[in-house]
Structure 1
Amino acid sequence: MIQKIHKSIIEGEIAAPSSKSALQRLIASAFLAKGQSIIQYKTLSDDALAGLNLIKSLGALVEKDDKVIKITGGFNNPKSELLIGESGLGLRMFTPILALHKDAFNITGKGSLLKRPVDFIVNTLKDFDIEIHSNQGKLPLKIKGPYKNTKVNVDGEFSSQLLTGLLMALPLAETDSVLSVSNLKSKPYIDLTIEILNKFGIEVYHNNYELFNIPANQEYKPINITTEGDWSGAAFLVVAGAIAGQIRITDIDLDSAQGDKAIVDIVEKAGAKVDRFDNALVVSKKELLSFEYDATDTPDLFPPLVALAVFCKGRSVIHGVHRLIHKESNRALTLKTEFEKIGAKIILDGDKMIVEGSKITGSKVSSHHDHRIAMALAVAGLQADGEMIIEDSEAVGKSWPDFFENLREIGGSLRFENYI
């Protein structure tokens, strides 16, 4: 699908989409609970649907109605062949959960996930004496539990998502677990995991994110919960307001554990006007100046920050480029390639990205089937001279299927075309 975007002045109100990160964790936790959990949501991403389909394959009862998911969890005659779509979080979170069961499973994905390395999953879980094999470092994975060793060193350099899966699975192990974690990145996402585990009655203890103690033989209790708004998605709305008009963003928790809420402070320091309310904020356009930010713990902020930086006077510097290599695309190179097509000047210098404020002109660009690249280009298109044509724009379905429609509702001049 192609989206065509013209320069626009936006004004209006949008509810933040449901947090993809939180909803996937809620789905996994509800699967592990005894009894029925009820999860309310506003938007259902492709990744969340992939998680629901996977737990159904494992035997969970899933009922999906108007903005409500009912999950009765537990392994129940599970299928051995499993699909997790394109969800990297889903793969890294559910693989440790599969190791709780005595049966063998084969889990694979599709699209860009098939190209992502899985050696770190294999190497980590082998330390738990789990039987696990990959296809020459790529999917599919073959895995067979149970956990035989629960005192392990875990390297958090590559991803915090595997640690999330371990924190979810190990409370159900038969022996207490002690994880010594080094080089942990994205600590806010571990905070989110622990917050959700606590809601399900699970206790996890840590000392400065370096030593995790997890009591064994715990029990997940079913809950009724509303999925919080997504700061990773809302970040694009915050930038849209800062560069193209005024926007009120609702259904967003300003005290959330999600690290991407840092976008609010960034745009405010760059010069945008920000007004905060209970579960809402208003962002308004003003003159913007360059900024510097370390996105090592919040790498999903890179795309909206690049869309912001090209409209700031001066050179903005974003640190943490190494976190972008194994996303849906190599986001550092993709951002540089696609934004340079529209006039941006971007330098990759070791672990930092330098973005110079530039005159932005619409052009034909590609999302590389990366949802956050598509959204970043769309936001930039709101203030580009000329027509922005985004190929593979349907990629937004991974996290926010209604993104373009929502942008149109507040004044974005957008038109889509199917490929011929």
Structure 2
Amino acid sequence: MKLSFSQSSISKFKLHITGSKSISNRYLILKAQFPNIELSGLSDCDDTRVLHKALTTLKEKGDEIDIHHAGTAMRFLTAYLSSLPNLEVVLKGSKRMHERPIGILVEAMRELGGHIKYLGSEGFPPLKIHGKSLQKDKISIPASVSSQYITALMLIAPSFKNGLTIYLQSKVTSKPYLMMTAASLKSIGVEVDLQESHIQVHPKTKIEPKTIAVESDWSSASYFYSCLALMDQGEFELSTFQKNSLQGDSKVAEFYKLFGIETRFKGDSILISKKAGVLLPEKIELDLNDTPDLAQTIAVTCLGLNIACNLTGLHTLKVKETDRLVALKTEIEKFGAEVEISNESLQLSPKANLKESVSVQTYQDHRMAMAFAPLAIKVDLTILNPEVVSKSFPDFWEKIKALGIQQNR
């Protein structure tokens, strides 16, 4: 898809962003355990649809669940399905999903009494799961690899007879996601004690009927922050968002102050604005350990604004839909800039005059497509395999078209 920008487009507009994938998927696992939870505003992305389908069509014997590229679904279902007595199921995904490690979570489930067999390479999906009634109430798990492993355990912990205490080994990565999980559990009446060294989730056999409205996705909002940062000026109204959000990526509002973007709340919407002539820094340095999904967006914003950056805390990016650090280096350098990466950092040395008509490979990664799309405001480019956005933001291309980013397939 070729992208270009029409300077005559309006710089003021409103749009509604789909519900948070992270919150939606947590509540879907909780609803499976407590059916009297009612959910509104669920994300309409592929990952949530896949998880919802898996949970609503589950059979006891001989079932096979294909979650495609949905990493969250793979982690959450590995734990949840292992806790269902008498269940036999094969859990598989795409080729890339079978390259993404899951050994830490599988070993934790086995230690709790689960029965999981690898059908391919050791430590990786696909998995054959025989559900068991899990009785143990303590587990230790490395906390620096993926917060989703810990969240998966937290979400099934209320069903344990004595609850579950999870001891955290090493520094926690993406801590806001664990806080989101704890808040989701507390919202339905589950008692949770979240500490630096451990998390204790108390047992719960039933809850009062509850209706949950899912907040819109701050990660998706980040691409519109990037668009506005790359424009001379403008104001966008985005809904539906909460001032005290559960989502770690709500920090995008703080980060984009560096690019001259102001955020204010108006009811259940946010107004983001940029004035003409904003003075920008020559370089920014950010630790994104708690918000790694913002790394691609911020790096491309810096590329478009000719700002150097040093982004750290990115060790989890290597095991996402693609190795995002390598992918960022490869694609950014096509525009003429220089990028250095390590196992957990990215340093960008920008270029004032970007190369035109670059084709950006997306590597089956939705965030590569959406992070680079705003760059069309500065330079014509082509996004390859643009349909990958359906993983988290199905109507993304329709939304940014309203900004004047023209699309030719």
Normalising by structure 1, we get a TM-score of 0.88
CA 1:128/1:14 → structure 2, altered by over 3 Å: closer, same or farther? same
Stretches of structure 1 lacking an aligned partner (at least 5 in a row):
60-76
State the partner residue of 1:368: 363
SS at match of 2:141: strand
Question: Does residue 325 of structure 1 match 2:318?
Answer: yes
CA deviations on 1:175-232 (whole Å, 9 max, x unpaired) are 3322211232111111111111122222221223x22222234324442222101011
State the partner residue of 2:31: 30
State the partner residue of 1:381: 376
State the partner residue of 2:404: 411
Which one is further off, 154-163 or 44-53? 154-163
State the partner residue of 1:69: none
State the partner residue of 1:201: 189
Does structure 2 conserve the Cα–Cα contact (< 8 Å) formed by 1:348 and 1:354?
Answer: yes
Whole-Å separation in 2 of the counterparts to 1:152 and 1:43: 32
CA RMSD of aligned residues (A): 2.0
Question: Does residue 142 of structure 1 match 2:128?
Answer: yes
State the partner residue of 2:2: 4
State the partner residue of 1:168: 155
CA 1:117/1:42 → structure 2, altered by over 3 Å: closer, same or farther? closer
SS at match of 2:168: strand
Q: How does 1:17-416 map to 2 (within 5 A)?
A: 17-35=18-36, 37-41=37-41, 43-58=43-58, 77=60, 80-103=63-86, 104-134=88-118, 135-136=120-121, 137-144=123-130, 145-182=132-169, 183-208=171-196, 210-244=197-231, 245-246=233-234, 247-278=236-267, 279-284=269-274, 286-289=278-281, 290-358=283-351, 359-360=353-354, 361-384=356-379, 387-415=380-408
Shift of 1:280: 0.9
Stretches of structure 2 lacking an aligned partner (at least 5 in a row):
none
State the partner residue of 1:65: none
CA deviations on 1:18-64 (whole Å, 9 max, x unpaired) are 111111112111111143x33222750000110111002226xxxxx
Whole-Å separation in 2 of the counterparts to 1:218 and 1:165: 18
Which one is further off, 79-88 or 401-410? 79-88
Which one is further off, 50-59 or 363-372? 50-59
SS at match of 2:129: strand
State the partner residue of 1:72: none
CA 1:303/1:265 → structure 2, altered by over 3 Å: closer, same or farther? same
Whole-Å separation in 2 of the counterparts to 1:321 and 1:236: 19
Whole-Å separation in 1 of the counterparts to 2:265 and 2:229: 14
SS at match of 1:13: strand
Counterpart amino acid of 1:118? I
Shift of 1:339: 1.5
Normalising by structure 2, we get a TM-score of 0.90
Counterpart amino acid of 2:237? R
Which one is further off, 280-289 or 256-265? 280-289
State the partner residue of 1:74: none
Does structure 2 conserve the Cα–Cα contact (< 8 Å) formed by 1:171 and 1:218?
Answer: yes
Shift of 1:314: 4.1
SS at match of 2:286: strand
Whole-Å separation in 2 of the counterparts to 1:364 and 1:314: 22
Shift of 1:105: 2.4
Shift of 1:78: 6.3
Whole-Å separation in 1 of the counterparts to 2:6 and 2:338: 23
Whole-Å separation in 1 of the counterparts to 2:157 and 2:78: 12
Shift of 1:114: 2.1
Whole-Å separation in 1 of the counterparts to 2:207 and 2:328: 41
Shift of 1:350: 5.0
Whole-Å separation in 1 of the counterparts to 2:247 and 2:102: 25
Does structure 2 conserve the Cα–Cα contact (< 8 Å) formed by 1:315 and 1:357?
Answer: yes
Which one is further off, 292-301 or 277-286? 277-286
CA 1:34/1:277 → structure 2, altered by over 3 Å: closer, same or farther? closer
CA 1:21/1:329 → structure 2, altered by over 3 Å: closer, same or farther? same
Whole-Å separation in 1 of the counterparts to 2:208 and 2:349: 51
CA deviations on 1:308-353 (whole Å, 9 max, x unpaired) are 1113444211002312100001000001111211223211145321
Whole-Å separation in 2 of the counterparts to 1:107 and 1:221: 32
Whole-Å separation in 1 of the counterparts to 2:17 and 2:285: 26
Counterpart amino acid of 2:180? L
Counterpart amino acid of 2:376? G
SS at match of 2:304: coil
Whole-Å separation in 2 of the counterparts to 1:241 and 1:198: 36
Shift of 1:150: 2.1
Does structure 2 conserve the Cα–Cα contact (< 8 Å) formed by 1:100 and 1:146?
Answer: yes
Whole-Å separation in 1 of the counterparts to 2:6 and 2:300: 15
Counterpart amino acid of 1:177? L
SS at match of 2:253: helix
Does structure 2 conserve the Cα–Cα contact (< 8 Å) formed by 1:32 and 1:220?
Answer: no
Aligned residues: 393
Whole-Å separation in 2 of the counterparts to 1:221 and 1:91: 29
CA 1:31/1:220 → structure 2, altered by over 3 Å: closer, same or farther? farther
Whole-Å separation in 1 of the counterparts to 2:316 and 2:242: 26
Does structure 1 conserve the Cα–Cα contact (< 8 Å) formed by 2:20 and 2:216?
Answer: yes
